[in-house]
Every structure is written in C-alpha cells, then in structure tokens.
A and B are shown apart, each in its own frame.
Chain A
C-alpha cells in the first residue's frame, strides 16, 4: 500500500473537501443525542489528522470530552502529527495505532467496538482484494447503534501509481453484494455522488442497527460475505481492465486528438498499471 494522503490539502481552505465537514456533522448529531455520555470514534487512515484539524470549532469542549478517539494510520509520522493535534482537544481518551490498514482488526484490541468509524479519502489506497475484508471488519467493529462513514474520490489528481479509485456505481454494487451475503438484503444504503471544485467523489453511511443481525450472525457470515465481495470486486476489476486495455489500444493506433484525451491517456496508463497489479495479487 502506498502512503496515504501525504498532501497538505486539509490546510488549504479551497481544497478542504465538504465530506470532512459531513463526518463532523454526523459526529455533532451523535454527541448531541440526549443520554450519550461517551462516544468511541475510530478514525481509520487518519492521515495527518484531517478530520480533527478543525474539531475545536465544530464541537464544544464539553462534546469533545465525551469522545474516545482512536486514530489509525500506516505512517508513523502521520500518526505522530495526529497525536499532537489530538492532545490539545480534550478528548476523554485518545489512542493512536500504526499498521497496515487491512490489518487494523488484528492491531486494535480484540472486543473494542465503536460508535462511529470514519474511513475517509482512503479507499483508493486499499489493495482491492483486501477491501472486502476491511469493510466487513469495519461492520463487525461497530457498536450495536454504531455507524460507518466512508467517502473517497472517483478520480485521483495528481495521479498516484498503484491507486485504484472506485466510481459511485461500483461502490454501490460492492456494498449491496456484501449486504446480501451477510443476510441484510433489505438494507439498501444510499451511495451519494458529490462534486467539488477539485474532484468528484462518493460517500455512504452504513448503520449497524439496520443490518438487523446479532454479533454472532455477523461473525458467522463474515467469511461468506468476504468471499462474495471479492468475486464482485475481481469481476469489476477485470471489466475495468478490459475497457482500459481497449481504450489504450485505440489511443495507440490513433493517438490523442485533444489535450483532454492526452490527459485521459495518462490516467488510463496509471489505471492499467493499478488494475493489472491488483489482479496479479489476486492470483
């Protein structure tokens, strides 16, 4: 996995993605719910602490004092930065963990459950074949009324070697396959598409209670859900690779006719590498 979010975009007001704000808004709602005295929040792939960067303005000190903040990233330096940012925020408790994202479940204490899990701006960094496990493990780690909030970009700019961004449509297909396999086929969460001045992205919220399944049910059906999702993911990757190959074939024959097409060509080349690599690792 390549390093995550090494940019300083979150410090540039024009480039702050509205979806960071969406995560905070969801958090505000949960913390304002009467009777909520504590809330555990797992910030998966916290990067340099993008989401908590403006937490002091979004949540009162009283609300922040209810939060048990768990930050996870694969980069030591990033985790340190997040730790530094978290220190001054007055959380009830906070912990930072470092490790490969797809191993988060092995690294976090067994049995820890979360009211809120954020997985933001990261899915493109995750090896596609490990995505299934990661998402199912996230579901398993949710408290009975917990929710998982995910967003990511549909296209990465500047291009990153090895990144596999997903479209909203594909994300929906993968999630529905997961829900069907886990036995929650009546739950059809919305996957939204949003446009930002610098990128397009998708987002989704998964509510644990809507699965209508006990913890044991989820554990028992996890392996099946993961394998079904992997089938879906591999099928989508193959289809994308085939289209990518065909597009590059025509560009090889006829060239790029416009500057836009030249950009497309570069993106397709990156995509070709990412997809071939992802599929290679599957076999």
Chain B
C-alpha cells in the first residue's frame, strides 16, 4: 500500500515514528515536508498524493497546507484518514472523514494509525492505477463506463498493447515502426501480420461501416494477412455485414478480454446481422421470446416463460431501448449481433464467446437448412447427366 503522510513541521518526530511503523509492515511511505530533489514541491506533493492508496493527515495544528493536501486527495478520490489531538475542532467539511484521536501514548498511537490506515486504504474504490495488470484494468473499465471514459485513447491503446503482451502475443506499437496506419501490429504464431486498429468511443456509440472499409483498404495495401478492429462499444449492422467473410475481424473490448487464445481473438466469427426469426430461435433456446410493446422502432422487449410454466412475464432487465432496423428490400427486422449477444449474456450469465458460439450455432443451422432447401431444389430441377444419374 502506498501511504502519503501530510503534516506540519511541529509533528516531524511523531510522523517519522508513524512512517517507520508503516515501513515495518512493507508499506511505501511518502511524507509531505520531505524536500523533493528539483522540480516543484507542489507537483511532487500532488503526484505523491494522487498515486497514494491512502492519505494520512496529521492535523494537530491548523496548517493550511495540510487542508490543501486533504483537498487534493479528496479530488483524486484518495481515501483520507485524519489524525487529530483530543478536542481539536475540525472544519465542518471534515467531520465525516475517518478520524483517529491521538492519546499521547506514542507507540499505541502509531500502531493504531497504521491499522486504521490499512482499513481505510482497503476500502478504496478501484482506480485504474491500482490494478496489477492491463487485463485487470481493462476488465474493470469494461464494467465501469466512468473508468473507461477516464482513459485517454492513448492510455487505452497502451493498455490493450500491454494486455496482448501479458498474454504472450507478439505485438509492436505501430507508431514506432511507422509502416502502417494501424495502432498496433500483431504477429501471429504462424508469422502472419495483423494490423490492429482501436476505436475508443462512448458506450452509446457504434463503429460505422467507414472504419471497416478503411481498415480493409489498409490491410490490402500493406499486404497484411488480417485486420483487427477493436471497439469499446459495438458496431453498426452495416459494419458487421461488411466485415463478414473478409480479412477484417471486429471485436468489442469484452470479446478481446474473453478470448482465451490467439485463434479465439482473431477468428472472424462475425456473422451477418441477426434477423428477428433467428433472434427468437436464439433467445427461445433459453426460454425467452421477443415481444414488441409498441410499433415504435426503438423499443423492444423480451418476455420470458418462468421456469415451471405460467404466464409470460416481462422482466425489467430485458427491456431495451436499442435501435434495430428494417432491411430496405423486405420487412425483415435485423439486429446487430452485439445487441443480441448483450441480451444473451445478461440472460444466461455466459461470457461473450459462449454466447457467440450459441448465436453461431443457430445461424449455422438456419444457413444449413436454407442450403439444404436450395440444393434440394437444384437436384429436382437438374436434368439427368450423361450417365443417367
């Protein structure tokens, strides 16, 4: 745990004792009045506080610097432990902050401060820099939109590059090689080159057909084997359709995280957008059915048959406000595979790859029955060949 101790010079001796107790327990301690070597004191202090897991503020005197440092910690969501003398009147803003009173028994106080700081630090909300790996950070970011938003596109690229390295993949940051307009170059075990492009968008956005088209062009111009387009949100139906059966694979962040091997990561398992009928077959396999409440184009619901029978119910969690579109040439409703996968993950609690396999199975089956029908038709209409078959 990283501990930052904020105090005034009058408490120097006491604070040195506290710091020693933290270090004895293998914590990393910075102290506010230690002079930094060069640079601005404020920026050193600010960086120290922002990277700390807990701020211990010894407010035995009303030193404005300490209150400033408490403010910095509060702004950076770093948990705070206030250490004060008995009878010390704290500013009203601080009265609900975790607090420990000095008794005057030095050893006992120091041990108590370490113990309380450990508790307070452990309650810290998860923040990006606290994660031990890129995998953990990205998983948290995939769950928590606020955390994802707080990552800059460059942070995001760097994290995914780190994630790939953690998984033992051979990746190069393209900016350094300047050979391609991709963000990363991924070399597979078979020595194939995959150009990786990231799209960090807000949750509500969708990566459009243009991004797929651009990457297809780049992949072909650079003679790369494949392109991998990673989106923090989903893809539009047109983007999915364009990528189907091409060397460009589309992956959401969730899918990237769930991929257990290079093959799973790169295989182009993107199918054409799912039709309403296929959608019902997919959710029907787990006891749900599509239900459209109104004629509205942007509202759809699923209804469920409770286990053991009974009437259809409309569980709240399966009411979505998601766009779907009609194909222009028919009245077929289509959904983006990402939306269908989202729903299925929510219903079943399965990971994206299990869900994708489930969707895939249904789509394959409908494809097969379609081809059987058409090949059957061909056979009946085919004239007998020379051999008379």
- A residues in contact (CB < 8 Å) with B: 167-170, 173, 193, 239-240, 243-244, 246-247, 250-258, 260-261, 264-265, 267-268
Contacts and interface: CB of A to CB of B under 8 A. Distances in A.
B241 A254 contact: yes
A257 B206 contact: yes
A264 B242 contact: no
A182 B206 CA distance: 46
B329 to A, nearest CB: 7
Contacts of A252: 328
Interface of B: 180-181, 205-206, 208-210, 212-213, 216-218, 220-222, 236-239, 241-242, 273, 323, 325-329, 334, 336
Contacts of B325: 254-255, 257
A243 B334 CA distance: 23
Contact of B236 (A167, A168, A170, A257): A257
Given A255-B325, A261-B210, A264-B209, A250 B181 contact: no
Given A244-B213, A250-B238, A261-B238, A169 B218 contact: yes
Contacts of A246: 213, 242
A257 B236 CA distance: 6
B179 to A, nearest CB: 10
B45 to A, nearest CB: 36
Name which of B181, B212, B237, B327 has the most chain A CB atoms within 10 A of its CB.
Answer: B237
B185 to A, nearest CB: 15
B213 A255 contact: no
Instruction: Name the residue in A169, A243, A247, A254 with the highest tally of chain B Cβ atoms < 10 Å from its Cβ.
Output: A254
13 contacts: A169-B217, A239-B217, A243-B217, A247-B210, A250-B238, A250-B241, A251-B209, A254-B241, A256-B236, A257-B206, A258-B236, A261-B209, A268-B210
B217 A255 contact: no
B216 to A, nearest CB: 6
Q: Which residue, B216, B238, B326, has most C-beta atoms of chain A within 10 A?
A: B238
Q: Is the interface of A mostly helix, strand, loop or mixed?
A: helix
Given A239-B220, A247-B213, A254 B238 contact: yes
Given A168-B181, A257-B237, A250 B209 contact: yes
A279 B126 CA distance: 57
A268 to B, nearest CB: 8
A254 B206 contact: no
Contacts of A167: 217
The 10 closest A-B pairs by CB, nearest first: A257-B236, A254-B237, A261-B208, A264-B210, A250-B241, A250-B238, A254-B238, A255-B325, A250-B242, A247-B213
Given A167-B217, A258-B205, A253 B242 contact: no
Contacts of A254: 236-238, 241, 273, 325, 327, 334
B206 A258 contact: yes
Contact of A173 (B221, B273, B334): B221
Contact of B328 (A247, A253, A257, A265): A253
A256 B323 CA distance: 11
Nearest to B243: A250
Contacts of B239: 250, 261
A208 B212 CA distance: 38
Nearest to B235: A257
